Chain A
Amino acid sequence: GAVVSQHPSRVICKSGTSVKIECRSLDFQATTMFWYRQFPKQSLMLMATSNEGSKATYEQGVEKDKFLINHASLTLSTLTVTSAHPEDSSFYICSARVRGKEQYFGPGTRLTVT
């Protein structure tokens, strides 16, 4: 299957700072990338969908000014959590897909805001 990587795998930051998470499709060009968030003992919740070169589409209830998504190329998308607070602590997972193909997930990034 296709490989999707995320960096960093874990990050701890202080409240009020911003954190950037990278998502890369390593062996394919992704037309669409997705960002999910997962709280402990809960399922994955879709945050936003982005197509290369266009603005991301955010799910209801997700603040677009807080969770900045950039999908500058067919192999890279970034999620920036701005002015992070402890309630933003979560497991963030990206996913990438080529049109008409299966969707592949990254290993996730565990964010802890202190």
Chain B
Amino acid sequence: DAKTTQPTSMDCAEGRAANLPCNHSTISGNEYVYWYRQIHSQGPQYIIHGLKNNETNEMASLIITEDRKSSTLILPHATLRDTAVYYCIVRSTGQGSGTASKLTFGTGTRLQVTL
């Protein structure tokens, strides 16, 4: 699985956009970039994923560079409830029938949204 590198922590003022970067320079052509977040003492929550094109949903936008070696998760208007650890994950495709691809978590970025 390709590895990802994220900053350990970031701060963001409430109401401002939070831009969380992720490097995945060894990503292969058929691997997706996934973003999850984990609020303290809860299970991870799916945010968004993408392959090549930029993606947007009701939670966030995902910007993937043309060479796919890095991406940025954008929370357009951060709120206090967005304080969490954000994980950028490159998902393996698995091999062989019946073999599930795995989500391997790194250390993530701890985003602190402040007033």
Binding site for B on A (CB under 8 A): 1, 4, 6, 31-32, 34, 36, 43-46, 49, 51, 54, 91, 93, 95, 97, 102-108, 110
Contacts and interface: CB of A to CB of B under 8 A. Distances in A.
18 contacts: A31-B100, A36-B105, A43-B106, A46-B102, A46-B105, A49-B102, A51-B98, A51-B100, A91-B41, A95-B43, A95-B103, A102-B34, A103-B46, A104-B46, A105-B43, A105-B44, A105-B45, A105-B46
Nearest to A54: B98
Contacts, number: 52
Nearest to A102: B46
The secondary structure that dominates the A interface is strand
A93 B46 contact: no
Given A1-B46, A102-B49, A103-B46, A108 B41 contact: yes
Size category of the B interface is 20 to 34
B100 A108 contact: no
A93 B44 contact: yes
A58 to B, nearest CB: 12
A54 B100 CA distance: 13
Contact of B105 (A4, A44, A106): A44
B43 A43 contact: no
B53 interface: no
Minimum-distance CB pairs A-B, first 4: A105-B43, A32-B100, A44-B105, A43-B105
Contact of A106 (B41, B43, B49): B43
A10 B43 CA distance: 13
